Chain A
Amino acid sequence: KAGVTQTPRYLIKTRGQQVTLSCSPISGHRSVSWYQQTPGQGLQFLFEYFSETQRNKGNFPGRFSGRQFSNSRSEMNVSTLELGDSALYLCASSLALTASSTDTQYFGPGTRLTVL
């Protein structure tokens, strides 16, 4: 079974631009979560989508947004990029079964975003 895929793997943007990152979950997984990883802040939760609805959100400004499509694929968007947005953006998917401990998150390889 194919793992979580993220595109693009690397991206260079300039301040003020916007960017869209894509994530395809493992087949059958219904939940997609996004994380940001920086050397200073470590791995931080951005948001989670389930059935095309955002059901959990981390402490990030409104410039960070996302969506999920009916096939569970997800995109995240960052508008008005700042230098501090340079990071590894990670997507994770899970089955999202209810009342089960098997809701393990599996991560993709990440998208390395550099803002100049």
Chain B
Amino acid sequence: DAKTTQPPSMDCAEGRAANLPCNHSTISGNEYVYWYRQIHSQGPQYIIHGLKNNETNEMASLIITEDRKSSTLILPHATLRDTAVYYCIVRLYTGTASKLTFGTGTRLQVTL
């Protein structure tokens, strides 16, 4: 799986959009971008994933650049409960085995 680079920490004011960047310059054509988050000492929570098109669900939006070398997770209206570590994972779906390789993630702090 390709390696990802994320800033170690970010701050965001409550109610504002949180934009979390991820660099994955070595991504290959059939690797997906996945985002998870982990609130302190809980299990990681799936947020969203995509291949090359932008994706949106009830939690967030995922914007992938045209060359697929980077992506941004957008939380449109951050709340205090969005304070967590956010992991960007590039994953090759093989259909025969499931494995996620987690990096160090971005610690997002949402403040009043």
Give the B-binding residues of A (Cβ under 8 A): 4, 31, 33, 35, 42-45, 48, 50, 55-56, 58, 88, 90, 92, 94, 96-101, 103-110, 112
Contact = CB atoms under 8 A, between A and B. Distances in A.
Best-buried of A45, A97, A99, A105 by chain B (most CB within 10 Å):
A105
Given A45-B101, A101-B93, 11 more contacts: A44-B102, A45-B100, A56-B98, A88-B41, A92-B98, A96-B98, A104-B49, A105-B100, A107-B45, A109-B42, A109-B43
B interface secondary structure, majority: loop
A90 B49 contact: no
Smallest CB-CB A-B distances: 5 pairs: A107-B43, A43-B102, A56-B97, A98-B95, A107-B44
14 contacts: A33-B99, A35-B100, A42-B103, A43-B100, A48-B99, A50-B97, A50-B98, A56-B98, A56-B99, A88-B41, A90-B43, A94-B98, A105-B100, A112-B41
Given A43-B44, A108-B43, A103 B102 contact: no
A55 B99 CA distance: 10
A63 to B, nearest CB: 20
Interface in B78-112: 87, 93, 95-104
B42 A103 contact: no
A31 B95 CA distance: 11
B35 to A, nearest CB: 11
Interface string B42-72: 1111100101000000000000000000000
Interface of B: 32, 34, 36, 41-46, 49, 51, 87, 93, 95-104
Contacts of B103: 42
B73 to A, nearest CB: 15
Contacts of B96: 55, 98
A80 to B, nearest CB: 26
Contact of A42 (B32, B34, B99, B102): B102
Contacts of B44: 43, 90, 92, 107
Nearest to A110: B43
